[in-house]
């Protein structure tokens, strides 16, 4: 069964974690949530705190080779905190270097800029971080979902269906290639 690692911490945009996670699970892909802290992390829903989700493993308990893809949910707080976690940035680089799918939505491409993996790549994001992505060398477009090699990006919660579909296809392709 293919496996996807989800990196998140308190302040993740609730729909951007649960929507893709549920779509991946329904497609027969196992998901594992990793965070800097054990226990539970609290989501953000629109303008207030949302639900909590269980953390399966801490960042120091996960490695790229154990997964077929990486999901980075957005929300303003979540990626801003995670980009200060060296292990999170290292994991992103490891997935990119391994050619495995990395899917980032909304504000999560901040993490891609921090990991220095967007130079020369075409991406999309929430409008407020597009300048950061341009400054990191990315070609930024305003599209529902953008697939550039193993990098998948989307702009906002409305894009979750297309984002999830692109990620499921990429993860299945990656898992098939790894098994061959």
What are 43-84's pLDDT values in tens digits?
A: 999 889 999 999 999 999 999 999 999 999 999 999 999 999
Nearest to residue 54, comparing CAs of 41, 65, 67? 41
The number of distinct structural domains making up the chain is: 1
Q: Name the nearest CA neighbour of 109 among 98, 122, 99, 94.
A: 122
Mean pLDDT value across the chain: 97
> Would you say residue 180 has pLDDT above 80?
no
Cα–Cα distance for residue pair 75/51, rounded to 1 Å: 14
Count helices and strands in the chain by DSSP H and E runs: 6, 12
Q: Where are the alpha helices (H) located in 52-116, listed in sequence order? A: 77-82, 86-97, 109-114
pLDDT digits (tens, 9 = 90+) for 130-150: 999 999 999 999 999 999 999
Active site residue ranges: 106
**DSSP bridge pairs for 153:** 104, 146
Provide the pLDDT confidence category of residue 151 given band limits of 50, 70 and 90. Answer: very high
Sign, CA dihedral 71-4-17-8, equals: negative
CATH number at residue 26: 3.40.50.880
Report the DSSP pairing between strands 151-154 and 145-148. antiparallel
Q: Residue 179: pLDDT band by 50, 70, 90 thresholds?
A: confident
């Amino acid at each position: 069964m293919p496996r996807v690692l989800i990196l998140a911490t308190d302040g993740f945009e609730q729909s951007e974690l649960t929507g893709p996670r549920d779509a991946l699970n329904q497609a027969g892909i196992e998901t594992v949530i990793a965070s800097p802290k054990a226990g539970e992390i609290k989501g953000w829903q629109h303008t207030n705190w949302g639900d909590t989700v269980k953390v399966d493993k801490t960042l120091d308990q996960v490695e790229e080779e154990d997964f077929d893809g990486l999901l980075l949910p957005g929300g303003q707080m979540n990626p801003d905190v995670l980009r200060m976690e060296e292990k999170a940035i290292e994991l992103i680089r490891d997935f990119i270097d391994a050619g495995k799918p990395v899917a980032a939505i909304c504000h999560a491409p901040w993490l891609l800029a921090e990991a220095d993996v967007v130079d020369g790549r075409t991406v999309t994001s929430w409008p407020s971080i597009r300048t950061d992505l341009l400054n990191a060398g990315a070609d930024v477009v305003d599209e529902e979902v953008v697939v550039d090699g193993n990098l998948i990006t989307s702009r906002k919660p409305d894009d979750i269906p297309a984002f999830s579909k692109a990620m499921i296809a990429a993860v299945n392709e990656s898992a098939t290639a790894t098994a061959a």
